Amino acid sequence: MLKSVKLNLFLFVAMLGTLGISAQTASKDVSDQDLNKFADAYQAVQMENQKAQQEMVVIIQDNGLEVARFQEIQQAQTDPNTKLDATEKELASHKAIIDNFQKMQPELESRMEEVINDTGLTMERYQEVAAAIQADRELQQELQAIMVKKTQGGAPAANSKG
């Protein structure tokens, strides 16, 4: 489980780099309370992502494709070096699936913002804290410790009483 948390944190930090969040927001102070709220929000976002992925699997299957086949077609359409060997029916199904995903996007974004707000952070503050975490190794380590503690049932660390 610890390995999974570390992998998720690594992927999260790597993902932040692709978002283009400006470094100047990273200079804002991040309190322990902000970091704890961020950890809660991050976990809630992860749960929403899992729900969304499950919904997407259903959409793929309802449109007559297996997930692996959908991924093959998607890869071939995004990589010009990959040869696409798909039937017209598969291509039509793929297009319908993509259309469904695009229709889902606003609702998914709304759900993500809602779960972030439910933790006491605004979307803007969540992004600021995320940028600060990306820029500060110490904050990354603090977040990792918080996440590990939360995944182990929220037991307090041995050196923090009360």
Contact, 26 vs 131, CB < 8 A?
Answer: yes
Q: Which of 22-31, 53-62, 66-75, 93-102 has the lowest mean pLDDT?
A: 22-31
Kindly give, in sequence order, each residue whose CB lies less than 8 Å from that of residue 13, ignoring residues fewer than 6 positions away.
133, 134, 140
Cα distance between the two ends of the chain: 26
Structural domain of residue 111, as residue ranges?
A: 2-151
**Which residue's entry shows tokens 């948390």?**
5
Q: Which amino acid is at 126?
A: Y
pTM (2 d.p.):
0.68
Q: How many domains does the chain have?
A: 1
Domain for residue 159, yes or no?
no
pLDDT digits (tens, 9 = 90+) for 15-29: 544 444 444 444 358
Domain for residue 100, yes or no?
yes
Q: Is residue 40 scored above 90 in pLDDT? A: yes
Domain for residue 157, yes or no?
no
pLDDT digits (tens, 9 = 90+) for 109-126: 999 999 999 999 999 999
Which of 119, 145, 115, 150 has the alpha carbon at shortest distance from 133? 145
Domain for residue 156, yes or no?
no
